[in-house]
Structure 1
Amino acid sequence: MNTQTTRSPQFYLTAPATCPYLPGEVERKVFTHLSGPRASEMNDLLTQGGFRRSQNIAYRPACESCRACVSVRILADQFRANGSFQRVLTANADIIATVLPPTPSAEQFSLFRRYLDSRHQQGGMSDMTALDFAVMVEDTHVNTHLIEYRLRQEGSGIERRPSGQLIGVALTDFMSDGLSMVYSFYDPDLPKRSFGTFMILEHIRRSAALGLPYVYLGYWVKGSQKMHYKTRFQPQEHLKPEGWALYDPETDG
């Protein structure tokens, strides 16, 4: 007889709040805690079910009158970079990406603050301190890493932590079926590099090289201009009530 007990996650509902993406809408989220020895397994299952991770919390929208937030994942093993994506890759051929443990640094936080001050002055993260940043990175019970992107420096070679200028950072969960981009930021003073696009392309390459089929991008919000970029990476799937389905921009866009 099996006497072991299985701890099921407990889910909670947030109070209504102003939607940050669509004017006039109110958002609510359902969330649960990720902790204990099964945290990574639970994070995989919840991400596959449309949840996102923030520190040790997994959440997904639970709005009463709106279903605009749609989970998106890129089919990394089927992705082929078109001309514009190839130009982005060429523009960043001098970048070295290094996977590191989730341990924050002062250099990372300095870049993070520059990014927020330039791109998200009015956002919910605009007043984050060095301690807040450290908690965002370190407060995790799942298989997560920091990926640093640095300029290749003459004579530095490919070291564990190259010494060139830090250009971007991604906080990424390594899951059983893909990579989930939890949060990323980059140097706002280098627009010609299209570095946000480059980091997604690099994650697609990395996922395919690892034999993992997906890159999870979080939520796409139809009608939100700031989310429009996510649909550029084809092919991709959107999570619908009946499950994950291939997205067709000609009919669903």
Structure 2
Amino acid sequence: MNDFLCDQPILIRFYPTATYECSYLPGRDARSLVASPAEIIDGHAYGQLIQHGFRRSGLYVYRPACHPCHECVPVRLDVQQFQPHRNQRRAVKRHANLTSHLQGLEFVDEHFELYRRYQAARHAGGGMDQDDREQYENFILCSNVTSFLVEFREDGKLRMVSLIDQIEDGLSSVYTFFDPDVPAASYGVYNVIWQAGLARQLGLPWLYLGYWIRNSRKMAYKTTYQPLQAWREDNWHPLTPDN
């Protein structure tokens, strides 16, 4: 994929990065295909790119291009047909006291402090646990598309923050961080179900969940949300826990 002409008159080009250490599969090198120039990729253009397996990290729009590895598979959830299974319903019930509040992409000290605690507990040594304010803002608060934050509180205490993009055919779950010190919490499960519900309320068909990686403990869970589709061979196909 070298060029991409949107149905609006802008031309996007794609460039492979140098190889870097894979964050999900130990001992493997990774490479991304980056869409450029970033500043012209608005919500409409990004809406078309995400339908072809791309994702956003700050202003950086990319898709894995790790030949011969093809473990990173873009997935999206059919929110109109989604019905939580028993364990997922338990997570919703467990966190029934959470309240949600939507807000713009503004820096909040409390959010940043939670982000730092989450990275230190869940991703120690991964690099992001050393993020300073500027790196946090570039990752979480920089966007050329329609984006918003959702904070979740329990009895006034901040428990979780989600960054979500709204595109033409759905919502895209960009990043979520939560309180790592609450025992037996299921914030991640609750969050996916909450976002699916929001997409359904907005009349949008899809919740884009990023990449499913079968052999990564951190990323394999996504097939527990059904019906799921995967971007493979230049089209979307059903993806079940068995395939």
State the TM-score, normalized to the length of structure 2. Answer: 0.92
Q: Give per-residue Cα distances to partners, 1:119-172, cap 9 Å, x unaligned.
A: 001213121012211222332111000011111x4xxxxxxxxxx111000011
Partner of 2:218: 226
Aligned amino acid, residue 248 of structure 1: T
Q: Measure the CA separation in 1 of the matches of 2:105 and 2:74.
A: 25
Corresponding residue number in structure 2 for 1:61: 64
Q: How far apart are 1:215 and its partner, in Å?
A: 0.8
Asked whether 1:129 is paired with 2:132, we answer yes
Which residue number in structure 2 is paired with residue 159 of structure 1? Answer: none
Alignment of 1:155-234 (within 5 A): 164-234=156-226
Q: Note if contact 1:34-1:43 (Cα within 8 Å) is conserved in structure 2.
A: no
Match of 2:3 in 1: none
Distance 1:198 1:113 in 2: 21
**Higher mean C-alpha deviation, range 5-14 or range 64-73:** 5-14
Structure with greater Cα Rg: 1
CA–CA separation in structure 2 for the residues paired with 1:104 and 1:174: 20
> Normalized per residue, which structure has more strand?
2
Q: Which stretch has the larger CA shift, 43-52 or 121-130?
A: 121-130
Alpha-carbon distance, 1:242 to partner: 4.1
Quote the residue 2:53 is aligned against.
Answer: 50
What residue ranges of structure 2 are gaps of 5+ in the alignment? 1-7
Give the counterpart letter for 1:86 in structure 2: R
Q: Structure 1 unaligned runs (5+)?
A: 154-163
In the other structure, the counterpart of 1:17 is 20
Does structure 1 conserve the Cα–Cα contact (< 8 Å) formed by 2:52 and 2:234? no
Measure, in 1, the Cα distance between the counterparts of 2:234 and 2:111.
40
Pair 1:34 & 2:38 matched:
yes
**CA deviation after TM superposition for structure 1 residue 193, in Å:** 2.5
| Aligned-pair CA distance for 1:78 | 0.4
Question: Per-residue CA shift, 1:202-240, capped at 9, x if unaligned?
Answer: 001111111111111111112111112111111100111
Q: Which moved more, 1:217-226 or 1:15-24?
A: 15-24
Residue 117 (structure 2) aligns with: 114
Further displaced range: 109-118 or 61-70: 61-70
Please give the alpha-carbon distance, in whole angstroms, between the structure 1 residues aligned to 2:108 and 2:63: 29
Q: How many residues align?
A: 235
Q: Which residue of 1 aligns with 2:96?
A: 93
* Aligned mates of 1:50, 1:124 — CA distance in 2: 25
- Structure 1 runs of 4+ off > 2 angstroms? 33-36
Shift of 1:9: 1.1
The residue matched to 1:225 in structure 2 has which SS?
coil
Relative distance call for 1:138 and 1:248 in structure 2 (3 A) is: closer
Q: Distance in 2 between matches of 1:71 and 1:168?
A: 24
Distance in 1 between the 2:138 and 2:210 partners? 20
Q: What letter is aligned with 1:178?
A: G
The whole-number CA distance in structure 2 between the counterparts of 1:77 and 1:219 is: 21
Match of 2:83 among 64, 80, 100: 80
The CA distance in 2 between the partners of 1:216 and 1:62, in whole Å, is 19
1:190 partner amino acid: V
Task: Look up the SS of the partner of 1:249 in the other structure.
Answer: coil
SS at match of 2:165: strand
Give distance in 2, aligned partners of 1:110 and 1:24: 32
Q: Are 1:138 and 2:144 matched, yes or no?
A: no
- 1:98 is displaced (CA, Å) by 1.1
